[in-house]
Amino acid sequence: MALYHSPLYLDALSQLESAAAAMSADPNIVERLKYPKRAIQVSIPIRLDDGSVKTFEGYRVQHNMTLGPGKGGIRFHPHVDLSETTALAMLMTFKCALVGLPLGGAKGGVKVNPNDLSRQELQALTRRYAMEIGPFVGPDKDIPAPDIGTDRQTMAWFMDTYSQIHGYASHGVVTGKPISVGGSLGREAATGKGVAYCINFAYDKMDKQIDHKTTVAIHGFGKVGMPAAVDLAEQGAKIVAVSDYTCALYQEEGLNVLDIIEFVKERNNLDQYERAGVKKITNEELLQLEVDVLIPAAIDSVITDKNMKNVRAKMIAEGANGPLTKEAVSYLTNQGVFIIPDILCNAGGVIVSYFEWVQGLAHFFWDEDQINKTLHRILKNAFDEVVVKADHYDIDMKKAAMCAALAKLEAAMKLRGLFPG
C-alpha cells in the first residue's frame, strides 16, 4: 500500500517496535501507533508564469493527536510522497512526546522543487495548498511549520490564506512566521541552537568540554547547520567542514563560519566560495572525516549500510530527521560512536514553535533570553530522561529516546482510551 512502502516509514516502524520490545510496551498501544490517524492527499493546480496550468501533489498526514493538536513542518521537495510524509509525521509524534509538548505529530509536503518556481508561482502553490488542507488545520487542530524547502515567507502566505478564509488574523495556525506577523524571537535559530545544546549535554555527560581542539563537520549548512555552527564556533570549536548540495568546504584549522554565512546570504550556495586555505571536498568525503562531532543536518538517509563503515566521527548529532538508517545506527553504536538521536537533537525547532503558538494564542510575546533559557531547560530535561532510560534498559540513546517518548504516549493513550470504547 502506498502509505507503507518507503524505507523511512519502515525504519520509523522498526524503531517503534524495537523500543516497544525493550520496554515491554502494551501491544495494543503499539498497534495504534503504527498507523497515522489521518492522511490527506490533495491536488494543487496553479497557473505558471507562462499562462499554463500545472498540478502538484500535496499531503498532510496527522499521525497521532493524543497529546494535543498535530504539529509538524511542510516540506517542498521533489522526493515528497505519502509514505515519507507519514514516517516524518510519526517522528513528530515521538519528538513532541519526548520533550513533553502538549502536541501531536503531523507532517505535510508538496512534491515540487521550489527552485524551479518563481516567487509568484511559489506563492500560488502555497496558498492553494493551504486552501486544500484548510479544513483539517487550525490552531486547535494541526499547526504546520517550515521544513525543507519552506521558510518564514511560506508561513506568512499560509497564515494569510487561512486568515482570509476565516476573516481574522490567525496567529496560531502556523509557526515559523516572520516576527512582524506574529513569529517568535529565536525560532529561526532554534533547531541549530538545540543541536549545539545537545552536543554540550553529551560532552558534560562524558566529563569533557568543547574547546579549540574540538573538531566539527556539518553536512548541510542551512537552517539547522548554520546556527549550530555559530554556537559551537562561539564556544571555541573548530568547524572544519560544511557542505550544501553543491560541494563541501574543508579547512583543518577551522573555517570562518560568519564569512561563509555572509557569502551564502548573497550567493545562495557554497559553490563559488574561494578563500586561502579552504579546500573543496565532496559531501561524501565530509561524512568520512575523522572529527569529534559530525552533524548530518540536511536530509534523511545520508549514512547507510553503503558508507557507514567509512564514518570516523566520535559523536554524531542527528540534526536532520532520520539521517542515519537503522543499519547505520546499529553498526556505529557497536563501534562506540555516541549518537544523539534526531527526535531529541533537532527538537529545538518544534519546542520554540510551541512557544510561538502559545505566544500567538495569548497575544503576548516573550523576550529572546526567556525563549533560549526555556528551550535549554526543556531539552536538558529530555536529554536526562533519555540517559535514564538508556541506563535503565541498557540500550543505546536512539532506542532510549523512543522508549521515553513511547512511555508518555502509552500513559496518555491508556487514560484517554479507545473511542468508541
Residues making contact with ligand GLU (CB under 6 A) = 71-73, 145, 147, 175, 321, 346, 349-350, 353
Secondary structure element (H or E) that encloses residue 198, with its range? helix 187-205
SS (H, E, C) 7-45: HHHHHHHHHHHHHHHHHCCCHHHHHHHCCCCEEEEEEEE
The edge-to-edge listing of strands for the beta sheet with 38-47 is 38-47, 53-64, 105-111, 70-77, 142-146
Distance CA 50, CA 110 (A): 21
DSSP track, 324-352: B-HHHHHHHHHTT-EEE-HHHHTTHHHHH
Whether 141 is a known active-site residue: answer no
405 neighbors 94 (Cβ within 8 angstroms)? yes
Instruction: Output the smallest distance, CB 256 to ligand GLU, in A.
Output: 28
Using CB atoms within 10 A of its CB, is residue 409 exposed (0-12), middle (13-18) or buried (19+)?
Answer: buried
**Residue placing its CB nearer to ligand GLU in the complex, 9 or 263:** 9
Instruction: Output the smallest distance, CB 147 to ligand GLU, in A.
Output: 4
Instruction: Output the smallest distance, CB 82 to ligand GLU, in A.
Output: 17
- Give the pairing of strands 248-250 and 279-281: antiparallel
- Give the pairing of strands 248-250 and 238-243: antiparallel
**Residue placing its CB nearer to ligand GLU in the complex, 192 or 254:** 192
The catalytic residue among 107, 177, 238, 399 is 107
Instruction: Output the smallest distance, CB 218 to ligand GLU, in A.
Output: 17
Instruction: Output the smallest distance, CB 47 to ligand GLU, in A.
Output: 29
- Distance from the Cα of residue 315 to its chain's centroid: 19
Distance CA 284, CA 282 (A): 5
**Residue placing its CB nearer to ligand GLU in the complex, 69 or 254:** 69
DSSP track, 216-276: EEEE--STTHHHHHHHHHHTT-EEEEEE-SS-EEE-TT---HHHHHHHHHHHSSSTT---T
Instruction: Output the smallest distance, CB 145 to ligand GLU, in A.
Output: 3
**Residue placing its CB nearer to ligand GLU in the complex, 95 or 238:** 95
The catalytic residue positions are 107
